[in-house]
């Protein structure tokens, strides 16, 4: 099966590399802290997450994007994968790929969690100023960073539990070094540690995730259609993603204590 035909139309337009006038990336620590405090009150408030990322951006992101976009590899991927959303939300096409592939694992994960790639965009766009849209190739690169978030859950094995989300943030920091990823990852780990007395390797899990992200080539610069077609374990091997030992150890310790890792605020079950 031709992956381009199966999963996405070829790009037909051409865009400038980067339009002039894009804002400089600057840190605003007080703003980041204000948003984080509000996020602690309501962990579903994506406006606060966006605020932290705006205050603690990846300052080298333009250089990284332009360096990649000037390569033949980037332009080939851009022609083949003009929109990851179109690819990732077409579960019918993804399901035509072999059983055991990353595509099937991704569909299973997204359907089980009730998620879509478009849904993440819609949520983020609620708080996105109109002047933040730029019709250039750098935006294509930025969009891939956003759209591969849930795919990272599948490739790494980190779940959508509280610790799993912090680990994905730490993994992502090593791929896309925005201080916001590291800040949210470790601050979130601290919040988890405050709520449960059971001794588990919370911070070791986050540090391990950070190391795993560093060992993995930058995912946004890989052909996602090629990865989706691979057997899951083969894709992990290709990307140097190994099993996160501390994360699964933490889960095992929580469960042994009667705590559901996906509901860390639930009361501890007492042994009979």
Task: State the DSSP code for 265.
Answer: T
Instruction: Decide if 205 contacts 247 (C-beta within 8 A).
Output: yes
Give the pLDDT of residue 133.
75
pLDDT in tens, the chain (272 residues): 344 333 443 444 689 999 998 999 999 999 998 998 888 788 777 778 888 999 999 999 999 999 999 999 999 999 999 999 999 999 999 999 999 999 999 999 999 999 999 998 888 777 666 556 789 999 999 999 999 999 999 999 999 999 999 999 999 999 999 999 999 999 999 989 987 778 999 999 999 999 999 999 999 999 999 999 999 999 999 999 999 999 999 999 999 999 999 998 554 444 33
Give the pLDDT of residue 159.
97
User: Residue 129: how many CB atoms within 10 A of its CB?
Assistant: 7
Taking the C-alpha atoms of residue 212 and residue 207, their distance in angstroms, rounded to an integer, is 9
Instruction: Decide if 145 contacts 121 (C-beta within 8 A).
Output: no
- The whole-model pTM stands at 0.88
Phi, psi of 231 (to 5 degrees): -55, 145
Taking the C-alpha atoms of residue 61 and residue 68, their distance in angstroms, rounded to an integer, is 11
- Write out the DSSP string of 136-179: SHHHHHHHHHHHTHHHHHHHH---SSHHHHHHHHHHHHHHS--H
- Domain ranges across the chain: 25-256
Closest listed residue to residue 160, CA positions, set 150, 171, 175: 150
Give the pLDDT of residue 128.
66
- Work out the angle between the directed axes of helices 149-156 and 162-175 (0-180°, nearest 10): 110
The two structure tokens encoding residue 200: 């588990």
- Using CA atoms, how far residue 65 sits from 136, 164, 220, in Å, is 11, 27, 10
Give the pLDDT of residue 270.
41
Task: State the DSSP code for 217.
Answer: -
The 3-state DSSP class for residue 27 equals coil
């Amino acid at each position: 099966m031709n992956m381009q035909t199966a999963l996405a139309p070829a790009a037909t337009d051409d865009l400038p590399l980067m339009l002039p006038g894009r804002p400089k990336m600057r840190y605003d620590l007080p703003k980041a802290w204000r948003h984080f405090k509000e996020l602690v009150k309501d962990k579903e408030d994506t406006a606060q997450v966006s605020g932290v990322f705006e205050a603690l951006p990846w300052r080298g992101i333009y250089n990284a994007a332009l360096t990649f976009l000037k390569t033949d590899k980037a332009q080939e991927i851009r022609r083949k994968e003009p929109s990851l959303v179109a690819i990732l939300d077409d579960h019918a096409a993804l399901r035509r790929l072999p059983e055991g592939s990353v595509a099937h694992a991704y569909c299973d994960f997204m359907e089980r969690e009730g998620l879509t790639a478009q849904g993440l965009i819609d949520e983020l766009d609620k708080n996105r100023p109109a002047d933040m849209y730029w019709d250039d190739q750098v935006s294509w690169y930025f969009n891939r960073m956003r759209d591969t978030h849930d795919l990272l859950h599948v490739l790494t094995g980190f779940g959508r539990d509280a610790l799993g989300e912090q680990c994905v943030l730490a993994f992502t920091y090593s791929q896309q070094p925005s201080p916001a990823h590291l800040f949210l990852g470790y601050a979130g780990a601290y919040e988890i540690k405050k709520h449960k007395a059971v001794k588990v390797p919370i911070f070791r899990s986050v540090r391990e995730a950070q190391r795993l992200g560093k060992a993995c080539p930058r995912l946004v610069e890989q052909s996602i259609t090629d990865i989706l077609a691979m057997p899951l374990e083969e894709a992990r091997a290709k990307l140097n993603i190994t099993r996160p030992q501390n994360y699964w150890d933490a889960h095992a310790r929580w469960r042994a204590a009667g705590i559901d890792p996906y509901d860390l605020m639930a009361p501890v079950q007492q042994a009979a």
